[in-house]
Structure 1
Amino acid sequence: MSTTGGLKVFSGNANRALAEEICNYLSCDLGQAITERFSDGEFNFQICENVRGADVFIVQPTCPPTDAHLMELLVMLDAFKRSSAERVTAVIPYYGYARSDKKDRPRVPIAAKLVANLISKAGADRVLTMDLHAAQIQGFFDIPVDHLYAAPVMIGYYQTNVLPKLTVVAPDTGGAERARAYAKRLNAELALCDKRRERANVAEVLHIVGDVRGRNCLIVDDMCDTGGSLTKVARALKEAGAERVHACFTHPVLSGCAVEQLANSDIEQIVTTNTIPLRPQARELEKIKVLSIAPLLAKAIKSIHEETSVSSLFV
C-alpha cells in the first residue's frame, strides 16, 4: 500500500482532456485549481483544495507552445511543494526539447538536460513520461523516471486491424530497435530507411534497406513534427514497390505545414495517440486515427500510488 496520502490528479492547460480521461479510469475527480493567465500573459495558478500530505500527479505534456506549457508545469510544481504535498509526480506524456539530447554540433546546448534540471529543481519527486525521443534522457534526471511506451496500444490496434504481407519500416537507424519490436510482435518483416538529415527539420531519404516490393508497409516512429521525413519515407517506399503505406507515431506534434503534407502524401492511414491534443486542421483529416493512452497512464499512476510494480506496463 501507498506510504503517502490520498491520490490527487491535477492538470495544466496543455492537455486537460487527457487528464480528465485519466481521472475517469481512476474513478476520481480532477483536482480543483485556477489555471488562468494574467493580462500580461503570466500564468496565474492557485490550488483550490487541500493537498497537505497528498500524493499529487500533475498531467502536463510540454507540447507546443512548449515554453508556455513548460513554465506552467514548473509553476505548478512549485505551488504543490509549497502547499506541503507529500509527493509530486510530473506526468509528462510528451517531453519537449527531447531532440536536444546531445552536443552533436559546436556551441549548441543540451536542452533536454536543462529541462530535466528545471523540473527537478521546481519540486518534482518523480517523472512519468512516454516514448522519449532518446531513452538516455531518463539519465538526465536525478529523480526516479518511469518511461512508458505506446507500443502495447499501437500493437493491439494492428493485431485487431491486421495488415497482410506486413513489413514494419524504421524511418531512420535510430528507430531500428522500436521497429524490430513491432515486427516481432506483429510477425512481420523488417525494413530500414537510410536517411541523412542535413539540418533541423530537413531530411533526405537515401534508400530503403530491405525488400518491400508488393508488401504493405507500416512506418513506426516516436513523433511527427513537420511531416517532411514521414512523407519522404512513404514516397521512397512506393518507389521501391510497396503496395500500401501506413504510419504510426506516438506524439502528433504536426507543426507548420505537416497536416497538408500528410494529407497529400502516399500514406493511406496514420495512427497516433492523444499525448498531445490534435490541432484543429488535423482533426479534419480523415486518414488520422487517434488511440487513447489514458488507460496506460492511469494504470501507471495507480501502481506508483500503491507502490506496486510498473514494469508490466513497459512491454
Structure 2
Amino acid sequence: MKRPLDDLKIFAGSSNPKLAAEVCRLLGVPLGEARLSRFSSGETYVSIDESVRGSDVYVFQSFSHPVNDHFVELLVMIDALKRSSAGMINVILPYYGYARQEKQDQPREPITAKLLADLLTTAGAERVLTMDLHAPAIQGFFDIPVDHMTALDLIADHLRTKDLSNAIIVSPDAGRAKTAERLATYLDLPVALMNKRRPKHNEAEITHVIGDVKHKIPIIIEDMIDTGGTLVKVIEGLVQNGARPEGILCATHAVFSGPARERLSHPAIREVVVTDTLPIQRQGELANLIVLSAAPLFAEAIDRIHHNRSISSLTPESSKQ
C-alpha cells in the first residue's frame, strides 16, 4: 500500500488533518494542497491549490467541534472541487454528526441526519465512506453509495491482549445489542444488556440489568462517548449488581464534550478505548485512555475503492460472525 496511486488526490478539512495525513502516509500519496480560512465575518473560504481535473478525489472531514463550521467547510470544499472538474468526489466522514437525530422521537422534530445527507449530495458528493454510524439505517438516507465500516475488529484485537477469562460484554441499551453480540462472538464471551430511559438529551436512567454480571469485569461497547454521563451510570449500575469495579469502556468516536474527561476518570472505570476518528484534545488529562488508529482501515478502503475492488470485508455486514 506504499506505492504511489495514480490519479488519486486526498484533501483534508480542518477537523482532523492528522488522521488524513496518516492515511496519506500509508498510501504513499501526498496530502492535497488546499487553503482553508475564514473571512472576518466568519464565512468560510476554500481554495484548491492544485489541479484536480479528472482526478478521483477524497475529502476527509469529521464532524467534530465546532460541528456546524466543519460541516459548512466540507460543503464549500465539495463545491470547489466540483467547479474544478474533479472526476469523482468521495467524502470520507470518519464521524457522521447529527446521527442521533435520525428519527422523530416527538412531534415537530427535525430528522437532521437526513437533512445532512441531502445537503452533501446536493453539494456534489458522489460517494460517502464512514465508520460506525449511530444508526445503520442512515445509509438509506443517501441516494449515492455509502460504504459503512466498523472499528469493531480494531477494538476486539486490543481486548484480546488482556485476560478476559472473567469478562462479560455489556450493551448499554437495546440499540447496541447486536454490536455487543458481535463483539462477544469475536471474543467468546457472555453478553449482558442494560435497559435505560432518557428523561432528556445527554441524560439517562438505568432501570434493569439483563444477564449475570456478578464478579465479572464489564466491557461496555458503544458507538460514541459524548458527555460520558450515560456510561458512568451504566458502570455504577453494573457495580451495584455485583460486577467488578474494573470496567472497560469501548467506543469508536471520542466526542468528549462538557464534563466527559472528569466523568471518565471514575474509579470503577479501568480503561477507556476509542479510535482517532475524532481529534482528541488534552489526551494526557485522561490517564486510562487508549486511542486506536483507524487510519489503516481508511487507507485500505480508499485503495480498494480506487482500484474497483470489494471492500465488503471491511463493512459490518460482512464481518465474521
What's the CA shift for 1:162? 3.5
Where does residue 208 of structure 2 map in the other structure?
A: 207
What's the CA shift for 1:255? 0.6
Where does residue 274 of structure 1 map in the other structure?
A: 276
Where does residue 249 of structure 1 map in the other structure?
A: 251
Moved over 6 A (4+): none
Counterpart code for 1:236: G
Where does residue 236 of structure 1 map in the other structure?
A: 237
2:198 is aligned with 1:175:
no
What's the CA shift for 1:238? 0.9
Contact 1:155 1:186 in 2 (8 A): yes
Q: Please give the alpha-carbon distance, in whole angstroms, between the structure 1 residues aligned to 2:149 and 2:284.
A: 25
Where does residue 34 of structure 1 map in the other structure?
A: 35
Counterpart code for 1:172: D
SS, match of residue 160 in structure 1? coil
Q: Please give the alpha-carbon distance, in whole angstroms, between the structure 1 residues aligned to 2:213 and 2:137.
A: 32
Contact 1:32 1:49 in 2 (8 A): yes
SS, match of residue 249 in structure 2? strand
Q: Please give the alpha-carbon distance, in whole angstroms, between the structure 2 residues aligned to 1:64 and 1:32.
A: 23
Q: What pairs up with 1:117-136 in 2 under 5 angstroms? A: 117-136=118-137
Q: What pairs up with 1:32-181 in 2 under 5 angstroms? A: 32-181=33-182
Q: Please give the alpha-carbon distance, in whole angstroms, between the structure 1 residues aligned to 2:240 and 2:164.
A: 20
What's the CA shift for 1:274? 0.2
Counterpart code for 1:266: A
TM (norm. structure 1) is 0.97
SS, match of residue 276 in structure 1? coil
TM (norm. structure 2) is 0.95
Same amino acid, percent of matched pairs: 48
Aligned-pair RMSD on alpha carbons?
1.2
Counterpart code for 1:11: A
SS, match of residue 39 in structure 1? coil
Deviations 1:115-151 (A, max 9, x none): 0000000000000000000000000000000000000
Q: Please give the alpha-carbon distance, in whole angstroms, between the structure 1 residues aligned to 2:29 and 2:299.
A: 11
Of 259-268 and 105-114, deviating more is: 259-268
Q: Please give the alpha-carbon distance, in whole angstroms, between the structure 2 residues aligned to 1:162 and 1:146.
A: 34
Count how many residue pairs are aligned between Structure 1 and Structure 2.
311
Contact 1:191 1:209 in 2 (8 A): yes
Contact 1:90 1:128 in 2 (8 A): yes
Where does residue 195 of structure 1 map in the other structure?
A: 196
Q: Please give the alpha-carbon distance, in whole angstroms, between the structure 1 residues aligned to 2:159 and 2:260.
A: 24
Deviations 1:37-85 (A, max 9, x none): 2222221210010000000000101122110000011000001010000
What's the CA shift for 1:190? 0.2
What's the CA shift for 1:20? 0.2
Structure 2: where are the runs of 5+ without partners?
Answer: none
Structure 1: where are the runs of 5+ without partners?
Answer: none
Q: Please give the alpha-carbon distance, in whole angstroms, between the structure 1 residues aligned to 2:247 and 2:34.
A: 44
SS, match of residue 8 in structure 1? strand
Contact 2:261 2:285 in 1 (8 A): no
